[in-house]
Amino acid sequence: MHATDRDKVIPPKTFLSLLFSLALPISLQFLLTSSMAVIDILMIGQLHDAAVAAVGIANQFVFIFFVIQFGIHSGIAIFTAQYWGKQDVARIHQLSGLGLLAGFVIGSVFAGAALFFPAAVISVFSSDADVVRLGAEYLRIVGFAFVPFCVTFSFMTNMRSMGFAGVPLISSFIAVVVNIVLNYCLILGNLGFPAMGVTGAAIGTCTAKLIETGLLTAIIYLKPYPLAASVKEMLSFDFAFVKRVTATCWPVFLNEFFWVTGVSMYKLVYARMGTQSIAAVNIVATFEEFLFVPFFGIFHAGSILIGNSIGAKRYNRAFAYGKFMLLIQLPMALGAGLVLILCRPFILGFYNISTAAYENAYYLILTTGLIFWAKTTNFTTVVSVFRGGGDTKFGFLMDLSSVWCIGVPMAFIGAFVFHWPVYGVMALIALEEMFKLIIGLPRFFSKKWIKNLVADPEK
């Protein structure tokens, strides 16, 4: 591996300027996307524990869909970032076509499950009849948005990797406004609309996501941006190219798949501990995701900068970017965790939940705040560094072993052997984050994660 003459480490101030110019729009994008789940849970929280649990469980299925789509398009985006550094737009169009095809296949499977077997999906996580009924109502409606939203995922991730991170903000902002208005009108029956409860929340979310897909597509093609391509251009790839991309993308896909199924096992354990437990977990998970907003932008901005640098053969710069990333996120994460812990009474004051659910949520927030820094550090190494650098197999193996060899067994032991409360179970699961720290940081300093995926294969 040889660096070019231009491979000079830039000053930290210059890096910060580049990082946050990308991170800010990505974080805002994530904020807008995450706010839909927050809005649903906040407004549904005015009803009762069963409604909160039902929407939370249904959104867990939606979350699985999102994470798998994220895995597909994150793998594609690794190549997009490096090809953009190489200024090969034709290959980026082919990558877009590959991502859309894969996304549609997965989206169709999830849409079929949501539309035709929603009660079966919800009953995997809960045996409460009210929770299953309400969750099925929500999922059956939201399922209509699964296939169209694959387009949003593809365009959004590729535009970010090309440096146009602010473009998807317009469509997402409008979608959130639509979601808020429809939820306000339909959940509790305001402005003369009928009070539809959970069904109203589903209608609002589904409508908002369909609008977001249509608007983003229109923006990209009407300008047009470099990503805009004809169907023929997107499908002009050959088998050798597909094989090359798949070799790197499959670990990312499997990484997200096994990670999200592991997290779903945690949710299954929590749900089997009782409706109050899963209601508390859903509340805390929503706010933890909200807390991740600024970090999400930093993770992906760092990945883009690292990928662009490697594609341009600036390997020393890529390693320096990784070090900067690790140093920047740690004090931010410690501060964010402390704020979350201190704001517990304020956060839980929004919810009309039982005393048991309140107590569980109160201590769950404490646990979440204490381990938040470890989660962000591991996200930085896996998402920003290893994926941005093309080292997808190591990240996959690290996540697979930590979740399934440590996290999932600890969840079952804590809940059904020790019979600990839900916050004690979460603390046991956190051992997986310590494991990832121990093996992830040495891998970073070894520099073995720096892999140029877009160098001409003949050379």
Angle at 197 between CA 191 and CA 199, to 5 degrees: 105
Distance CA 199, CA 40 (A): 11
In the 3-class helix/strand/coil scheme, how is the chain assigned residue by residue? CCCCCCCCCCCHHHHHHHHHHHHHHHHHHHHHHHHHHHHHHHHHCCCCHHHHHHHHHHHHHHHHHHHHHHHHHHHHHHHHHHHHHHCCHHHHHHHHHHHHHHHHHHHHHHHHHHHHCHHHHHHCCCCCHHHHHHHHHHHHHHHHHHHHHHHHHHHHHHHHHCCCCCCCHHHHHHHHHHHHHHHHHHCCCCCCCCCCCHHHHHHHHHHHHHHHHHHHHHHHHHCCCCCCCCHHHHCCCCHHHHHHHHHHHHHHHHHHHHHHHHHHHHHHHHHHCCHHHHHHHHHHHHHHHHHCHHHHHHHHHHHHHHHHHHHCCCHHHHHHHHHHHHHHHHHHHHHHHHHHHHCHHHHHCCCCCCHHHHHHHHHHHHHHHHHHHHHHHHHHHHHHHHHCCCCHHHHHHHHHHHHHHHHHHHHHHHHHHCCCCHHHHHHHHCHHHHHHHHHHHHHHHHCCCCCCCCCCCCC
User: In Å, how far are 94, 150, 375 from 339, measured between CA atoms?
Assistant: 44, 35, 16
Q: For the chain, what's the residue count?
A: 459
Reply yes or no on whether the pLDDT at 150 is more than 70: yes
The pLDDT assigned to 19 comes to: 82
Q: Which of 5-9, 55-59, 110-114: highest mean pLDDT?
A: 110-114
The pLDDT assigned to 46 comes to: 64
Which tens digit of pLDDT belongs to each residue from 176-203?
Answer: 889 888 988 888 778 888 888 888 888 9
The pLDDT assigned to 9 comes to: 64
pLDDT band at 402 (very low <50, low <70, confident <90, very high): very high
Reply yes or no on whether the pLDDT at 458 is more than 50: no
Reply yes or no on whether the pLDDT at 210 is more than 80: yes
Distance CA 148, CA 190 (A): 29
The pLDDT assigned to 371 comes to: 93
User: In Å, how far are 35, 349, 350, 366, 371 from 343, measured between CA atoms?
Assistant: 18, 10, 12, 10, 16
Mean residue pLDDT across the chain: 85
The pLDDT assigned to 146 comes to: 92
Q: For 356, left (φ over 0), alpha (ψ -120 to 50), or beta?
A: alpha
C-alpha distance across the termini of the chain, in Å:
12
Tell me what the mean pLDDT of segment 266-277 comes to.
83
Residue 430: φ, ψ to 5°:
-65, -15
The pLDDT assigned to 37 comes to: 66
Reply yes or no on whether the pLDDT at 459 is more than 60: no
Non-local (6+) Cβ contacts of 417 within 8 A are none
Is this model's pTM higher than 0.85 or not?
A: no
Reply yes or no on whether the pLDDT at 23 is more than 80: yes
The pLDDT assigned to 54 comes to: 81
Q: Which of 1-5, 40-44, 68-72, 138-142: highest mean pLDDT?
A: 138-142
Tell me what the mean pLDDT of segment 30-37 comes to.
72
The pLDDT assigned to 47 comes to: 66
Which tens digit of pLDDT belongs to each residue from 75-106?
Answer: 888 888 888 878 888 889 999 999 899 899 99
Q: Which residue has the tokens 């699985």?
A: 64
| Domain edges within the chain | 12-446
Reply yes or no on whether the pLDDT at 5 is more than 60: no
The pLDDT assigned to 384 comes to: 87
Reply yes or no on whether the pLDDT at 457 is more than 70: no
pLDDT band at 332 (very low <50, low <70, confident <90, very high): very high
The larger pLDDT score, comparing residue 333 to residue 50, is at: 333
Which tens digit of pLDDT belongs to each residue from 362-372?
Answer: 999 999 999 99
